[in-house]
């Protein structure tokens, strides 16, 4: 935050450096298993040479770039005609994300922010923010968050729940005109693992992504229990008088099987992908504890993709923390050589 405004991470972290922007890295260049630069796509292909390469393209694109550079699961690379430099079987695997399932209920009257999200209401909210810097337009609509364990409220939390005083759609944007509340239920430590794999040999193609949300029974059970817990919360005497009716999953969905089927249809991403260039000490890990890519010198991955396990909370601050730590390690290592 700066002067009561959200601040992009780039301003304080990057500062006045020499940056090349709007260019797409398509490949890491390597000679004799040592990274020597990158290939960029702009109007045509360009090459930049470097003594050390740091890949920070995020959990989808870091593994994709590695694979297009010949670093990844050998069989997959060969299928696409990519010459294998290092057979690193877990590049793109181990994808974890926080699955999110929204429970929505209509509320009585015009409670909440629905009116401020449309037409004249949004103009009023905008003007209020402009003049007083507060009101519905001063935040992202999520006023509070709770962490709890649906089977034992005194135990370590397993669920994160966002409380948005609005009927929000899958992208957390307001939808419809009827006032309401959305409880976004998030599984903090999902057991399911997905993957990012190459669609073809074109480095500008999007990869295939399988988040495998609710792929494991345990994750399904956690969400079903948390839907039941939120229904209990809505029935509390402090909240029940303002709830008009449950919108989703809706009163007709009651048994575990019915809630489970609804969960599988409603589940979406919390936009927290991690794990596709897993850090570890074992030989299958993509990077070691100093974030060096196993099998290639002079190449590191520094972003959320190196997390072996997803954090029990949002991933942005942990990614910035790991980047800070990794940068200090990198500088230390360079000074020693």
User: How far apart (Å, rounded) are the C-alpha atoms in residues 168 and 174?
Assistant: 4
Nearer to ligand FAD, 235 or 317 (CB): 317
Which positions are annotated as active-site residues? 272
Rounded (5°) CA angle 10-132-2: 20
User: How far apart (Å, rounded) are the C-alpha atoms in residues 315 and 190?
Assistant: 14
Q: Note whether 275 and 105 are within 8 A (CB).
A: no
Min dist. Cβ of residue 290 to ligand FAD (A) = 18
Cis upstream peptide for 181 (omega within 30°): no
Burial class (CB in 10 A: 0-12, 13-18, 19+), 289: exposed
Nearer to ligand FAD, 24 or 236 (CB): 24
Closest CA to 253 of 236, 238, 266: 266
Nearer to ligand FAD, 212 or 314 (CB): 314
Min dist. Cβ of residue 115 to ligand FAD (A) = 24
Q: Which parts of this chain interact with ligand FAD (CB under 6 A)? A: 24-25, 56-59, 61, 65, 271-272, 303-304, 314-317, 319
Q: Note whether 258 and 228 are within 8 A (CB).
A: no
Min dist. Cβ of residue 259 to ligand FAD (A) = 27
- Interstrand relation of 53-55 and 99-107 (parallel, antiparallel or unpaired): unpaired
Min dist. Cβ of residue 113 to ligand FAD (A) = 17
Nearer to ligand FAD, 148 or 162 (CB): 162
Nearer to ligand FAD, 111 or 142 (CB): 142
3-state secondary structure of 65: helix
Beta-carbon count within 10 A of 313 CB: 16
Min dist. Cβ of residue 32 to ligand FAD (A) = 24
Could you write out the DSSP letters of every residue in 35-81? EEEEEEESSSEEEEE-SSEEE--HHHHHHHHHHHTTEE-HHHHHHTT
């Amino acid at each position: 935050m700066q002067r009561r405004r959200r601040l992009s991470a780039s301003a304080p972290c990057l500062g006045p450096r020499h940056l090349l922007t709007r260019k797409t890295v398509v490949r890491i260049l390597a000679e004799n298993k040592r990274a020597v630069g990158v290939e960029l796509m702009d109007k045509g292909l360009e090459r930049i040479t470097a003594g050390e390469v740091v890949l920070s393209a995020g959990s989808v694109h870091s593994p994709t770039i590695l694979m297009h550079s010949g670093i990844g699961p050998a069989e997959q690379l060969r299928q696409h005609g990519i010459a294998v430099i290092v057979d690193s079987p877990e590049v793109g695997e181990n994808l974890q994300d926080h699955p999110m399932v929204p429970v929505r209920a209509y509320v009585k009257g015009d409670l909440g922010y629905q009116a401020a999200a449309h037409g004249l209401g949004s103009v009023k909210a905008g003007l209020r923010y402009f003049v007083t810097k507060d009101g519905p337009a001063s935040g992202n609509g999520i006023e509070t968050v709770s962490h709890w364990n649906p089977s034992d409220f005194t135990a370590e939390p397993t669920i994160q729940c966002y409380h948005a005083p609005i009927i929000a759609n899958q992208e957390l944007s307001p939808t419809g005109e009827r006032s309401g509340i959305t409880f976004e239920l998030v599984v903090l430590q999902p057991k399911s693992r997905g993957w990012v794999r190459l669609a073809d040999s074109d480095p500008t193609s999007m990869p295939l992504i399988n988040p495998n949300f609710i792929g494991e029974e345990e994750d399904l059970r956690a969400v079903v229990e948390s839907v039941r817990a939120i229904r209990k919360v809505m029935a509390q005497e402090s909240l029940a008088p303002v709830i008009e009716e449950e919108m989703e999953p809706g009163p007709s969905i009651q048994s575990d099987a019915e809630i489970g089927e609804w969960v599988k249809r409603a589940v979406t991403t919390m936009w927290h992908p991690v794990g596709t260039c897993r850090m570890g000490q074992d030989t299958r890990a993509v990077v070691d504890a100093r974030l060096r890519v196993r099998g290639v010198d002079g190449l590191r991955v520094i972003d959320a993709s190196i997390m072996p396990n997803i954090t029990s909370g949002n991933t942005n601050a942990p990614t910035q923390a790991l980047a800070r730590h990794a940068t200090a390690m990198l500088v230390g290592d360079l000074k020693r050589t």
